[in-house]
Amino acid sequence: MLVCLKHKKEMKVILNGVGVRFGDNHVYPGDMYKCPLCEHSFILTNSTSIYDPDHKIETIQMDESNE
């Protein structure tokens, strides 16, 4: 169970099979969750990336800057 610390509520799955893309081709697949009260959201990913050079998986692109 994933819990919002601010509201003490269970986070709800809002999207399955979304990925986080690092660079051009490597994606960490996961699921997106959201707090039902504050709507804070996050993606919980697998620890192993997959190779997706054709961009077939719906993803968000990570900001790789050092800021």
Tokens at 15, concatenated: 């999207």
> Residue length, the chain?
67
In a domain, 58, yes or no: no
- Residue 56 within any structural domain of the chain: no
Q: Is the per-residue pLDDT at 6 higher than 70?
A: yes
Give Cβ neighbours of residue 32 (< 8 Å, ≥ 6 apart): 13, 14, 15, 16, 18, 41, 42, 43
- Asked if residue 7 is part of any domain, the answer here is yes
pLDDT value at residue 23? 87
Each residue's pLDDT tens digit, 8-66: 999 999 999 999 998 888 999 999 999 999 999 999 999 999 999 999 999 999 987 76
pLDDT of res. 64: 78
- pLDDT of amino acid 67: 60
* pTM tops 0.85: no
Q: How many domains does one find in the chain?
A: 1
- In a domain, residue 41? The reply is yes
